[in-house]
Amino acid sequence: MSTSRTRGQYAKGAERREQIIQTATDVFATEGFEGTALKHVAELVGVKEATLFHYFKGKQELLTAVLAERDRRSVAGVGQEEVGLSLMPPIAERNRHEPGLTTLYAVASATANDPGHDSHGYFKERYENVVQGISEDIARRQAIGEVRSDVDAAILSRLVVAAFDGLQLQWLYDKDVDMAEGLRQLIDVLLAPSGQ
């Protein structure tokens, strides 16, 4: 087999894999990820459901790829590249419009804590990156007096991330919970400079 043909097949496979991720992200956003969602993804891509796993080791690898795409879209959707405090409420608002992906995230993050879980590495790295990005934003804001400086930036960052996840979980049970407004209020109160 020629090298150019091999490269062409690889490119085609990578293109199909990306098509599956994009389609699954769209389907899961509105329909969720249980039941017939994978069958629907396969139909939209034009393959049999079993063929999906020619491109992924299993369902968990596909779900992790969808979550990574969700993260990419969230950041791209608000027009920022760096994770920071101002990014949190718009992402929460976006999550409200994608209940299936929000549920997938909550379920997957809760079950991936075992180091042997296929998504463990993804979530570990994701939390490290998010906490670090927000911590750096808080430290920058502390240096200019915009945010309280009597608490370590990394601790404040973890509290904001914990509140985000907690509000999101509450929203899954009660759609009247306003995740974005809750985060705005928390950030205003928790991070207010001393003396305000």
User: What are the Cα distances from residue 72, in Å, to 7, 18, 112, 148?
Assistant: 27, 13, 20, 30
Q: Is pLDDT of 53 > 80?
A: yes
Residue 1 confidence (pLDDT) above 60:
no
Grade residue 6 by pLDDT with cuts at 50, 70 and 90. Answer: low
- Per-residue pLDDT at 59: 83
Contacts of range 154-159, beta carbons closer than 8 Å, 24 or more positions apart: 156/190, 156/191, 157/131, 157/132, 158/131, 159/190
Report the pLDDT value the prediction gives residue 148, as an integer from 0 to 100: 92
Q: Are 51 and 42 in contact (CB under 8 A)?
A: yes
> What DSSP state is assigned to residue 85?
G
**What average pLDDT is seen over the chain?**
87
Tens of pLDDT, residue by residue over 72-122, are 888 776 665 567 898 899 989 988 988 888 888 898 888 899 998 888 999
In the predicted model, is pLDDT for residue 7 greater than 80?
no
Going by the DSSP 8-state scheme, the letter that residue 22 receives in this structure is H
196 pLDDT exceeds 60?
no
Identify the band that residue 174 occupies on the pLDDT scale cut at 50, 70 and 90. Answer: very high
pLDDT digits (tens, 9 = 90+) for 132-145: 999 999 999 999 99
**Candidates 3.65.10.10, 1.10.357.10, 2.40.50.140, 3.30.1360.120; correct CATH number of 3-190?**
1.10.357.10
Q: Whole-structure pTM over 0.95, yes or no?
A: no
Mean pLDDT over 168-175 rounds to 94
pLDDT confidence of residue 129:
92
Q: What is the pLDDT of residue 128?
A: 95
Within a 13 Å sphere around the CA of 24, how many CA atoms are in the beta-carbon half?
A: 30
Residues near 18 by beta carbon (within 8 Å), at least 6 away in sequence: none
